Amino acid sequence: MRTPLLVVTGLDPVAMDSTLMSLAWDLPRAVSVRHRIDPHSQVLTRTVSDTSGLLEQEQIQLQHACVGCALREDIMPTLERLARDGRWSAIVSGLPTATEAGQLAHILATDSRLARHLKLSAVLAAVGTGDIVRDLLSDDLLRDRDLHTNPDDDRGVGEVACAQVEYADLVVLDADPGTEATELVRTLARPGVPLVAGADQLDAAALTPQRHQSSVNSRWCSPAFEIDLPALDSRHTWRLDLSSPRPFHPDRLMDHIERLGTGAHRSRGSFWVPTRPGELLEWSGAGGRLSIGSYGTWGSRTPATRLIFTGLGEAPSGLASTFEDMLLTPTEALLDQHGWGVLEDGLEPWLGDIRDVA
């Protein structure tokens, strides 16, 4: 019999711990495991407990203080060991702060050995509401708040916080943040995902029979974003869906990227450039910090450029016109149907050499 697994992500350690404690105490014979990474010492600390008290507390020196190493070296082996033990009816796992659950979910969905013992029931995003709008839409870096996972972690707080909310099967707010902030979270979250105000309002027993649907989450969170957005029913948030079958012109992309990528809003999606026609490129930003990179290949899909913008108040003027300015014109698109065949396009610092990704 597979052991249900509830996974908690977050940026606020207090909100995460409150959610973990509520879940563990609400479930009969549950075991709780919390992992923390010290980015300075590169030490991973594992704490395991149940209703009887502390069971384990160990420190593991990581080769690299990154989430991938932590998952491989201790998180996944620990979850498998606890599931195989047979003493507990459920496992509640708190991932290291600022960790997204997608990689863990992918491992569980593709590793047949682990799948025999563990069932991922739900991923929860625990959100501290002290200044939730700033967390989601500011330009702070994780290292500015000592929330980074390794010395080279240059991610933004907003990008990580938004991604955690977007991937979650349930969002737990540690208090009622008010109407505007609540509507922002609802707009970012996958349609239909419940929002709970207060960890004490969680119904853990209703979560464990469920099954995390990786394919559903992937469709919502994938840069390709090949879904229709539901109508936005909100008085305080805005959403802009910009799409085109045409690629960005690589020169105009670099000329205008700040105009499209900066601002107190969340932006994500996919794009392509004619110099790399088979490559699916990812766009992910929040609060004025933007990351672009290679996500994979288009495969059998038709390349397209689609960016989704979300924010509070009034949408900034000029986003749609800037988006259009960055695309190949219809005339350019007709002339360059077969790619440009160049060796360099100026995007190498972010996307690598063309010859390496062709």
pLDDT (tens digit per residue) in 264-318: 999 999 999 999 989 999 999 999 899 999 999 999 899 999 999 999 999 999 9
Nearest-angstrom CA–CA distance, 258 and 276: 22
Query: What H or E segment, with its residue span, contains residue 299?
Result: none
When pLDDT is averaged across residues 78-105 and rounded to a whole number, the result is 95
Q: Find the DSSP H helices in the chain.
A: 13-26, 67-70, 76-85, 102-110, 112-115, 132-137, 157-167, 179-188, 204-207, 214-221, 250-261, 319-326, 330-335, 348-351, 354-357
The yes-or-no verdict on residue 351 having pLDDT over 80 is yes
pLDDT (tens digit per residue) in 111-130: 999 989 999 999 999 999 88
Average pLDDT, the chain: 92
Q: Which domains does the chain have, with CATH numbers?
A: 3-221 (3.40.50), 237-357 (3.30.1220.10)
Q: What are phi and psi of 194, to 5 degrees?
A: -70, 145
pLDDT for 358 equals 42
CA distances from 57 to 32, 36, 96 (A): 12, 11, 15
pLDDT for 215 equals 84
pLDDT (tens digit per residue) in 166-195: 999 999 999 999 999 999 999 999 999 999
pLDDT for 357 equals 45
pLDDT for 339 equals 59
**pTM to 2 decimals?**
0.94
Q: Between vectors from CA 47 to CA 212 and to CA 205, what angle results, nearest 5°? A: 35
Bridge partners for 266 per DSSP: 286, 310
pLDDT for 138 equals 85
The yes-or-no verdict on residue 230 having pLDDT over 90 is no
Query: In the structure, what pLDDT confidence band is assigned to residue 355 with cuts at 50, 70 and 90?
Result: low
Q: What are phi and psi of 281, to 5 degrees?
A: -105, 140
Handedness of CA 128, 132, 137, 141 (dihedral sign): negative
* pLDDT greater at residue 342 or residue 61: 61
Nearest-angstrom CA–CA distance, 268 and 176: 27
